[in-house]
Structure 1
């Protein structure tokens, strides 16, 4: 049964799971969430597996009507969510009653918000993923952004979700506890983003290498799920050279001929032919994604060993969050 209806679509609203892995060698991009930590936590809060599909909204959110009661969670950037006209809390399970309307507005903190549904979103998998890749027209809701009038169904609730329903009915729809995302994600603008030097870092001149680590770079409004375009001091090579296209990924920092860096994001291509000055560490991709346009970032170098240690610590924190949610719900 199609139990959720889209009343207003928002700026760019798609269905995303953790992504479409294993097909990059065929030129198929990964897609998936801009902020994977928020997606994972949203799913944990409603008793889903971490990789289940959710709704992702960018900067200006959608309006949804519920034709049946649902357990949901809202995470990520603060797009001022309201349920039946009243502010609704984030980062906790919520019971939405039949007929209710969930409305998102403009982002006051962060960029991307996520809504999970107990049981997940019932859409077909394409190449092992429900993630939407709009440019190829695959995944999600017919391979496109959600539009006014679209409806979708949710799957079967897990035992944790069923236990949540009983708790929420006794607690007047909200539970008194929530998840604190700050150990994993920063929603403050002017963030420090940790990077490792890219393959062509040493090909840039001395002034450019210094500027990359000591100057602010501003995320422009021409940024999207494919890439964040930056503006700041121009970065120049010591001398031009021919470069074959090489594999790139989420977080690769390329420098095109205009000297202004581009950070490849969740919908980035699989190969690129521009010099790679840096690679954003995996643990900081969520913070980068949540940094709003017209605000600045600074880059901080870390070694591979440090990047691995930070990522392992983040994985440990996620495991703790999952265990605590399960304990709070099931005891």
Structure 2
């Protein structure tokens, strides 16, 4: 499990285990010999729970528990006895900013309070998002020449926006700040991860996952998600990409690494929408519709130097991430071009 000098954590909790990152974390943790308490809003929903229960090692070392981000105390049973907690759960979708912000911030507090009460928890790894590292300032002007851990998304600028992506960015920023502040105040070791767009295969029965949404948006079959990708490029300057397995491995790496602390941007590469569409068109052997904004050329480089300097290495390239995502979408007959 852990090499000499690393944390020798054996039992962990994963919140939001039915989601894209959460499900992969459960899978990889079981493969590494961990005992896992995994939370879902409804463990009785076979569509969400069955793929997890069918994983290798699940019968012996996986326990599914019900928990709700908005209910204080609902994470107590899941966290009890765990040495490490991966807080992955977060709100997706909503009709207002509060639909994102309230469950994100309250959820962090509920999970952190459960960790404090449990007393067994040695470290929390919180899944934030690169959307919390926007390089603009409160006036919407470029304030950073590189996107790294020093960047915090400008809340005043985001409050002036009226789209759901800005609401999500606000929620992730506030939730991460809450997590880090709580850790500092209550002497709880909190590490945060900021993944960019997460691409690759999935093994759950649901397809409303980031990987397929991004791909479907870029190939022109999901206009709503194309707007999400377009907005991210407009405020970040490019699109960051990371493979789902690398994201999962980075979380576990940070749980085990003895000197890990603070924030960690997580991506393998970044590109414009146009360059990604060019690649996808070749992979799918089809023509894709291009828009003027696809060629956006105001690059602001992302940096994953902190993770790399700690000894982490990425297994998959940007191209491999999309190739794996496309193959999975074909497997589920989702690409009817």
TM-score above 0.5, yes or no: no
Please identify which structure carries the higher helix content. 2
TM class, shorter-chain normalised? under 0.3
TM-score normalised per structure 1 = 0.25
Please identify which structure carries the higher strand content. 1
Structure with the larger RCO, 1 or 2 (CA within 8 Å, 6+ apart):
1
TM-score normalised per structure 2 = 0.24
